[in-house]
Structure 1
Amino acid sequence: MLTDKKIVIGVTACSPGYKVPDIIKKLRALNAEVSVIMTENSTNFVTPLSLQHSSGNPVEIDAYKKPIIWEKDHISLSRAADLLLIAPASANILGKAANGIADDLLSTTIMSTRGPKVVATHINPNMYASPAVQRNIKLLKEDGFVFVDNKNEKRPSLFPEIDLIIETVLQTLNVNK
């Protein structure tokens, strides 16, 4: 299904971070190769070691830290990615992406990835309703970002079920399950 597909998952500081190992396991069960980039604050919600164990690859956090595996430059993951999945995605990372801010490894990877980008948000409903966040989401959709619909009309900002995320990844890559 996802054989020969490389999925890069960007993890931000949101409480559903603990669900990312399950997302990785489902993607790997579909034969995807998975790499993970975490924001520094996301390490408060899920450990890099658990994501490294789930993905089978080193987890990247700091663009300027000596890498475990040496790469020529800090955008090699973005070049190799068939799809970038940002899950969970905070209001902060949406603001950075919508406004061209690249000040950490994940935001730099978002800016440099040319393939499809799928976003699974987890944002406080009051923050989500703010004009700034709504404007950022609108801009990102116009730029081609695909947002996972959590099927919850009353609380659309909350993290979707894992199966909805996987389904959206497959649809975005035009792969049948």
Structure 2
Amino acid sequence: MGKLLEGKTIVLGITGGIAAYKAATLCSRLVSLGATVRVVMTEGATKFIAPLTLQTLSRHPVATDVFDEHDASVVQHIDLADAADLVVVAPATANIIAKMAHGIADDMLSTTLLATTAPVLIAPAMNVHMLQHPAVMANLDTLGSRGVRFVESGTGQLACGYVGKGRLAEPDEIVEVVISLLKGKKPLAGRKVLVTAGGTIERLDPVRYITNDSSGKMGFALAEAARDLGADVTLVCARTDGPPPSGVTVVRTPSAGEMLAAVMERLPEMDAVVKAAAVADYRPAERHENKMKKGAETMTLTLVRNPDILQEIGNWRYSDEGNPRRSPFVVGFAAETTDVERHALDKLARKRADLIVANDVSQEGVGFGADSNAVNVYGAEGLVLALDRQSKRRIAERLWQLIADRAGWKPSGGEGVGAL
């Protein structure tokens, strides 16, 4: 591979799991690719592999104690944090994952992680039941929502005797991800994408409106992931629970009608449209200019159909005698509570989208307002991708990878953190 990582500094964090021995091979591989590797070990890690081994392989002192300052001119954990182009934690135990998620800094590694502004890549390794514990899953979701990257655990024979998911990824797998993060071309570079987010509102009067439970978190995660992967992102959003991500063009469209106009105006110049917003199906037939006063014991509202934005996009794409326009690639979302697959495939066909991302919002911990999601993605051939419960950011990255593959996009552009 040559010296692909020359000029890059990688802080390698090693924690106290049986897979710590693999970190020696990982360190050696990174050094051979030209990286400067600075190793930080927890006390538990030193019980499995000697610091001298990593010092010999990295050709740098190994940091193990936050109070053991070798150079009076610097604070060691800050110096390491500032020097890093990337921090890799392999193996990452349930303990360090919990510390990272909750901001605990009680040793050299956790303190360095809290101080760094560099991208962080973790490779979890633990017993299968520990990995599936709700607390660990919640912590992984939290880290994913903050942009932490993961090298998924492998499945096989574990040191504890169980067979299942939880094995540390092989060093070469981790190295490939490191190379992609630090030297890879951004897979969405040069692409213009539009994402819709949030729940539209349809006003009854100046102080009341009809809306839904959408928080905008999934749309925000999609916009943020696309931005980090190199795309020029336009985020068209309605009512949301928080501020949109920075570094994207934000267009505020409270109502379905305003969102439709904003989307259709920008549609011809986009390479992809991902419609994650929850658009109100109906709006009041009459909008009162002044606040409605309380009157009779009951009140009847007349509602009329809103325009269907995804349908309008499909109609525009196929307006040329039924032949689809070259772009954009169109992805819709379907939030369902029953017969998810049937409704998703029906929506895919009717709206003439390329993909439909469907989720069962009746499940606890996924869907509206949650930080995590679980989705099935459908194409014309049926189910193409099933993603179990994980952070919306991780879901977003997988979706962009699928979109890029299906659309036939080839990476372009310069270097930077942008691997899928």
Report the TM range for the smaller structure's normalisation: over 0.9
Question: Which of the residues 163, 169, 173 maps onto 2:172?
Answer: 163
Query: Offset at 1:41?
Result: 1.1
Go from structure 1 to structure 2 and tell me whether the alpha carbon gap of 1:130 and 1:61 turns closer, same or farther (over 3 Å shift).
same
**TM-score (structure 1 length as normaliser):** 0.93
2:178 is aligned with 1:175: no
Structure number with higher strand proportion: 2
Residue 368 of structure 2: aligned partner: none
Query: Offset at 1:166?
Result: 0.3
Extract structure 1 runs of 4+ deviating beyond 6 A.
none
Deviations 1:58-115 (A, max 9, x none): 0000111232x44421311000000000011100000000011111110011111111
Q: What secondary structure sits across from 2:74 in the alignment?
A: coil
* Percent identity for Structure 1 against Structure 2: 39
Deviations 1:117-170 (A, max 9, x none): 111111111111110000000110111111102454983322001111001111
Residue 105 of structure 2: aligned partner: 102
Residue 52 of structure 2: aligned partner: 49
Q: CA RMSD in A?
A: 1.6
Question: Which of the residues 8, 11, 19 maps onto 1:8?
Answer: 11
**TM-score (structure 2 length as normaliser):** 0.40
Q: What secondary structure sits across from 1:63 in the alignment?
A: coil
One-letter code of the match for 1:65?
Answer: D
Q: What secondary structure sits across from 2:147 in the alignment?
A: coil
Go from structure 1 to structure 2 and tell me whether the alpha carbon gap of 1:146 and 1:78 turns closer, same or farther (over 3 Å shift).
same
The answer to whether the Cα contact below 8 Å between 1:150 and 1:161 also exists between their aligned partners in 2 is: no
Take 2:58 and 2:109, find their aligned partners in 1: how far apart are those partners? 17
One-letter code of the match for 2:74?
Answer: K
2:29 is aligned with 1:26: yes
The answer to whether the Cα contact below 8 Å between 2:154 and 2:167 also exists between their aligned partners in 1 is: no
One-letter code of the match for 1:147?
Answer: F
Structure number with the bigger relative contact order (C-alpha 8 A, sep ≥ 6) is: 1
The answer to whether the Cα contact below 8 Å between 1:13 and 1:42 also exists between their aligned partners in 2 is: yes
2:133 is aligned with 1:130: yes
Question: Structure 2: which 5+ runs fail to align?
Answer: 157-162, 186-420
Take 2:39 and 2:131, find their aligned partners in 1: how far apart are those partners? 25
2:118 is aligned with 1:115: yes
Structure number with higher helix proportion: 1
Q: How does 1:71-110 map to 2 (within 5 A)?
A: 71-73=73-75, 74-110=77-113
Take 1:151 and 1:108, find their aligned partners in 2: how far apart are those partners? 28
